[in-house]
Structure 1
């Protein structure tokens, strides 16, 4: 039986000239470059379909930047965008601040830095993994119900939830250096399921050539 695949697509670049750690704040839209990245993702999934993939289910975080990233894929593959709160960005106590490194030198914020392994400044890594994996399992089931064995789903989410889900899938520790995440803008992290068993993880960067010109602020 062919594996069912759930692709975790990170959103494209956001228009953020003030370099705000935007977290779950509303109305942060894709930049023009981010829209190009979203189109690249749509082309990547369209090419998969041309090569025989059956992508039949599309889910997005409710945040504006994720919804806008999902739109070209929805149009290209004629899919409805299903919104799922479980794949939203991680909570972060520094949300809304710009120049976060400067704020970290302020003693008033030091209490939030006491445990980087949790992390103490935001939503626990384990909580993120649990909610994203639950959403991925539901997406797997929905894809199989619509397309049968070997069907595929796409979930548009955010860097940190995707990255810690991959770490968990690969049985690696969840705490990490945010600068070393392998989850670039508009990248695709693919979870492959053999029935209910998670059998493997793939990763690719359809917008690799656009990344040198992109602004990219580590999240939570």
Structure 2
């Protein structure tokens, strides 16, 4: 029997003409480019030839829209999972370049190691890994084929999960995250229940040159 893989897929580009940090704010839909990016992720996953047992997405609209072409490609319903949502952030709705210059906001910037402006990194990791553990435990497609699970989430949750499972420190420079728009980070679970990363791909890389990616926490 092949090992089940869980694929963490980041959403595509969001329509965000004002360049705000959108966090969990509603109605931030994919741009037209973002829809093309989401399609490249669906195509990449289909090209792997691995059966898929379930498709799960964050409740935010950009994740649901990014899951739509995967749903169509694999003929799967989208299951909504609140545990893989973007973390809350004090600066939601702000343009960060302006917000960090305002002394009123400085108390929220004092501890980047937690971080002080939003949900603690350890809290994000805990809910993400719990959701992934449950995904690995989903019923198999058959006795001989477990089927993979695809989970459409967000940059920070995916990145800190990678850091945690790799045994690295959780605080980091957000500019150095290896988690591009519509990227796919894949994991397996060994017989002892330990989850480990097995691959990363950036199927929308050729589209990223003109993308705007300033709204992530």
For the pair 1:86 / 2:83, whether they are aligned, the reply is yes
Q: Once the two structures are superposed, what CA deviation does each residue of 1:94-150 show, in whole Å capped at 9, x if it has no partner?
A: 00112x1221111111101111000000000000000011111111111x4335555
Aligned to 2:111: 115
Distance of 1:197 and 1:54 partners within structure 2: 22
Aligned to 1:44: 44
Superposed counterparts of 1:25-36, under 5 Å: 25-36=25-36
Superposed counterparts of 1:33-182, under 5 Å: 33-49=33-49, 53-98=50-95, 100-142=96-138, 144-147=139-142, 150-182=146-178
CA shift for structure 1 position 218: 5.8
Number of equivalences: 215
Aligned to 2:180: 184
The runs of 5 or more residues in structure 2 that have no matched partner are none
Contact 2:16–2:215, Cα closer than 8 Å, also in 1: no
| SS state at 1:154 partner | strand
The runs of 5 or more residues in structure 1 that have no matched partner are none
CA shift for structure 1 position 54: 1.6
Provide the alpha-carbon RMSD of the alignment.
Answer: 1.3
For the pair 1:210 / 2:191, whether they are aligned, the reply is no
CA shift for structure 1 position 201: 3.4
The structure whose residues are more often helix, as a share, is 1
| SS state at 2:208 partner | helix
